[in-house]
Amino acid sequence: MHDRVDLVKIYECLCDRTRLRLLNVLAQGPLCVCHFQEILREPQVKISKHLGYLRTRGLVAYERQGNWMVYELPAKPSRELRANLACLQDCARENPVFRRDLARLEKLTPKFAETSPCGCRPAAKTTAG
C-alpha cells in the first residue's frame, strides 16, 4: 500500500528551488547530507533545513547510519508524488542548474562510494516513476 501524501503538502514542498534540486538529485538514489552539500554547493544548515521540511511532509525517508543521515525517496511513494517527481525530472532536463547538479553527482559518485561509511551510492540513472 502506498503512503498517502496530501497533494497540498506536495505542492508546498515543490515551491522552493532548493527543495526541487534536492528531490531531483534524490531521484538518482540515496545520499548523505554532506553529499548534497558538495552537489548543490550549499551550506549544511540550509540542506538540513530543507531535508527536514521534506521529511516532515513525507516526501523523503531517512535513516541514521552512525553519524551519517542518509536520505532517499519513499520506498512506496503515492501516485501523486510519483507523478509530480516525474514531472520535475522532465522539466529539470532543460534547466542548467538542475543539469549541473546531476553532472556534479555523476562526477562525485566514485568519491562518495569510496568515502561513505554508510555505503550510500547513487543508483545509475533511475527515475522516480
Question: How many whole angstroms separate alpha carbon 107 and alpha carbon 122?
Answer: 11
Q: What is the pLDDT of residues 68-103, one digit of tens each?
A: 889 999 999 989 999 999 999 999 999 999 999 999
* Residue at 117 is within a domain: no
Provide the CATH number for the domain around residue 14: 1.10.10.10
Residue 96 in any domain: the answer is yes
Cα–Cα distances (Å) from 78 to 9, 19, 49, 86, 129, in that order, read: 12, 18, 23, 12, 11
Does position 19 have pLDDT exceeding 90, yes or no? yes
Residue 54 belongs to domain spanning: 7-111
* pTM to 2 decimal places: 0.84
- How many independent structural domains does the chain possess? 1
Residue 129 lies in a domain: no
On whether residue 92 sits in a domain, the answer given is yes
Average of per-residue pLDDT values in the chain: 86
